[in-house]
Structure 1
Amino acid sequence: MVREVMFWSSMGNHIEDVIFKSSICATHQRQNPRESLISQKIPDRPWSKIAMDLFEFDGHQYLISVDFYSKWPEIAKLDQPNSGCVIRHLKSQLSKYGIPDEAISDHGPQFASAEFRKFVHDYEFRHVTSSPHYPQSNGQVEQMVLLEKAKDPYMAILDYRNTPLEELGLSPAQLFLARRLRTKLPVSATLLKLQNAEFVKESLKTRQARQKRNFDKHFPKSDLKPLIPGEKIMVRHNYQWIHGFVA
């Protein structure tokens, strides 16, 4: 976003240096992953595939949904952190953007209840859960953890929606709404007008491939062998290894 309004020599390095020296970023930096990155299939349209999760801010629970295609995030403050409240806010989001083909979440009780399963059945979309203790498998939402550290999560999400993605040069707002959003930061008036981009999917594939290369080259590859139905296994649950089998 800075490049759109100003420029100075070594600007990118200076900005990265400020971010890396941030005490908040240092406190919440990610642990080293154990396996190479598995890329999700890129959808053909916005809101076809979404990721869902809950996060806490200032003593309140929020629902966050992120579109895989555009990286467009939606947040909603929950009166109660239960399935019923989560479902009500999801219905509100779906009424605005349509029913997705697929929605991904963790194994939280709000998403694992019979009430939520009925909601999925009634609205006719596929619900997929990410791997326990491995949030990278639901990385679309995990990338939005920045909201937990923001003084104003709504202003933070507005700025995020307006920030161009690498390789594409387009922001989540441009991919989702075909235009940039007005914020407190200076912006060209032409960016606020509707725009179209036919190269979006190929650019997303390029961006995804670069992320996988950068991710994999920093960590030794240790991919697990494929599991076979009926196979006996050991599963780590609540920091203890227990016996199990592949369903």
Structure 2
Amino acid sequence: MVFGRKFRLQTDHAPLLRIFGSKKGIPVYTANRLQRWALTLLMYDFTIEYVATEKFGHVDVLSRLINQHVRLDEDYVIASISLEDDVRLVAFDSFRFEVQQSTENDPVLSKVVQYIHQGWPSKQTVASNPELQQFYNRRESLTTVQGCALFGERLVIPSRLRKRCLDQLHTGHPGIGRMKAIARSYVYWPAIDAEVEKAVKACTQCALAAKTSPRVAPVPWPKPQRAWERVHVDYAGPLDGDCFLLVVDSFTKWPEIVQTSHITTTATIKILRSLFARMGMPELLVSDIGTQFTSAMFGKFCSMNGIEHTTTAPFHPQSNGQAERFVDTFKRGIKKIREGEGPIQEALDLFLLKYRSTPNPAVVGGVSPSEAMFGRRIRTNLELLRPPTDRQQAEQEEDQQKPRSFNKKDPVYVKVYNRNSWSWVPGTIVEQIGGVMYNVRTEKRRLVRSHVNQLRKRLPSAESFEETSGLPSNPLPLDVLLSAWNSPSTSVLPSSATFSPCVSSIDDSVHITTTIIGSC
């Protein structure tokens, strides 16, 4: 009985140091009784050390008293018999007479069996044979039963029968891991793991039903250096019976979406031709292997416009990830915008406006696609949240320009349009409306509203200058006119002077003037 958990165990049997003192666990080939002892000792914290028999008399005192008695090492004999029985049960179920004959005829295993019985030579002797050297490294675990070699409880298979053994182990087509586990429980030969892997990989049925190989690390597209250098195209839909051609610039992430009811080569070329007329021809066009992109007509269209066309692998959308990812973004965005079943064109316009004006972290500098493409932000209704601009600066700029202006009653020429022609017509400014608009009355008493760019200054003619140069701006009474001639209002005028009233219509009023000499 042992009191306490920590103690020191002394023994004069050196092999027990490897059985009970090993830090790697209990060897699988250890006898059952020794395994039970080792499991019992696992509950204790102990150290084991070897003591020579000559110095171990206090324990071995009783046996030393019988000096004349021939003692047998019962522990060794019982353990050997128990091991032999255990191994025989496995051996008889695992091998046949053919295995025994093949072992005798095998040049390597025949030497192994001989060395197990007669003792192993030095390491230098077996170094020339790599297979024999592997058995030498495991010599302490090798035994023989009825002419067959055993590695622990596993039967060592001769080289002639290894192919048949692999076929038997592969019954049911287990994978590499499961087949190795089965083999390690029953058979052994050098490099058995490598041959199991080779056998499974060479099996046609296993190869046809195998899983997809692990994906390699994705290789990104080369980074473009400028806008519209490489564009990715793909079709999305159908949505409400129509498809959508999506074009995305890889540098600025600027999207273009065109709704179409046909996805033929002709329709695709028509859409791209219109788009390239606005944005220019790209250097590289990336698409999938759709028939509209792989046709001879589309190839001719690209070659005539100097566009390099690249197609991706079939059923591998990751190769065209720029377009495929935007297809998913487009579908989700349209679905959320059209929650109330609104018009799809309205939802498409709103989606493009928001996407183009939203900063994108994938764009250089984290700016929006519109800034990367055009160098400016496109204006949205969110600009109303910004404070107004400086009005004084705007007024100063307007003052510097000094646009033409006219005053009321200024004589001008005004453009009067008649069908597809126009002509200059004399007129007079009636009033100013706003900053650059004027109401003008022509000679034909027609009121015309004109822009300042449709007016030009008019100088009075010579006849009108002579008629109006000597007259005051307002009509005067008759006695004032007579006083200008130093004549009283009741004086008698010379007989040669005659008076003739002349009626002049000016500004819708009638004024009576007197002509001294001549007639009106």
TM-score range, shorter chain: 0.5 to 0.7
1:162 aligns with 2:357: yes
Number of residues of Structure 1 aligned to a counterpart in Structure 2: 158
The answer to whether structure 1 residue 55 and structure 2 residue 201 are counterparts is: no
Q: CA deviation at 1:65?
A: 0.6
How far the C-alpha of 1:98 sits from its partner, in A, is 1.0
Do structure 1's residue 75 and structure 2's residue 257 form an aligned pair? yes
**Correspondence for 1:36 among 213, 217, 221:** 217
TM-score normalized by structure 1? 0.59
Contact 2:288-2:314 at 8 Å conserved across structures: yes
Distance in structure 1 (CA, Å) of the matches to 2:372 and 2:331: 24
Between the aligned partners of 2:316 and 2:260, the Cα distance in structure 1 is 25
- The 5 A counterparts of 1:140-219 are 140-145=322-327, 146-149=329-332, 150=334, 151=338, 152-166=347-361, 168-185=365-382
Given that 1:55 and 1:61 are in contact with CA atoms closer than 8 Å, whether structure 2 keeps it comes out as yes
Describe the superposition over 1:79-111 as per-residue Cα deviations: whole angstroms up to 9, x where unpaired: 311010110110111111111110000011110
Task: Give the secondary structure class of the aligned counterpart of 1:120.
Answer: helix
Structure-2 change in CA distance of 1:35 and 1:92 (3 Å): same
Partners of 2:371 and 2:222 in 1: how far apart? 21
**Structure 2 length normalisation: TM-score?**
0.29
Is 1:131 the counterpart of 2:313? The answer is yes
Give the Cα–Cα distance (whole angstroms) in 1 for the partners of residues 251 and 384 of structure 2: 24
- Mark the CA change 1:166 to 1:83 in structure 2 (over 3 Å): closer, same or farther: same
RMSD: 2.1
Counterpart Cα distance in 1 of 2:228 and 2:386: 27
* Aligned equivalent of 1:222: none
Check if 1:117 corresponds to 2:299.
yes
Contact 1:71 1:172 in 2 (8 A): yes
CA offsets 1:56-75 (integer angstroms, 9 cap, x no match): 12221111110011010111
* Greater mean deviation of Cα atoms: 33-42 or 172-181: 33-42
Aligned to 2:189: none
Greater shift, 81-90 or 130-139, is seen at 130-139
- Secondary structure of residue in 2 paired with 1:96: helix
* % same residue: 35
- The answer to whether the 8 A contact 1:105-1:130 is kept is yes
Distance 1:164 1:141 in 2: 19
Asked if 2 retains the 8 angstrom alpha-carbon contact of 1:61 and 1:81, the reply is: yes
Indicate how the Cα distance of structure 1 residues 36 and 98 shifts in structure 2: closer, same or farther if over 3 A, else same: same
Per-residue Cα deviation, 1:191-239 (whole angstroms, up to 9, x for no partner) = xxxxxxxxxxxxxxxxxxxxxxxxxxxxxxxxxxxxxxxxxxxxxxxxx
The one-character-per-residue Cα deviations of 1:153-200 (angstroms, maximum 9, x if unpaired) are 22112211111122723011110011122234457769xxxxxxxxxx
Q: How far 1:134 moved relative to its partner?
A: 1.4
Give the corresponding residue for 1:96: 278
Measure, in 2, the Cα distance between the counterparts of 1:46 and 1:181: 17
Deviations 1:120-146 (A, max 9, x none): 121111000012111111111112122
**Conserved 8 A contact 2:241-2:261:** no
2:288 paired residue number: 106
Tell me the amino acid that sits aligned with residue 37 of structure 1.
Answer: P
Q: Which runs of 5+ in 1 are unaligned?
A: 1-32, 191-247
Give the direction of change, closer, same or farther, for the CA distance of 1:188–1:122 in structure 2 (3 Å limit): farther
Retained in 1: the 8 A contact 2:286–2:310? Answer: yes
Which blocks of at least 5 consecutive residues in structure 2 are unaligned? 1-213, 339-346, 388-520
The one-letter code matched in structure 1 to 2:281 is I
Does 1:86 pair with 2:281?
A: no
One-letter amino acid of the structure 2 residue matched with residue 38 of structure 1: V
CA contact (8 A) 1:147 1:157 kept: no
Contact 1:78/1:86 (<8 A) preserved:
no
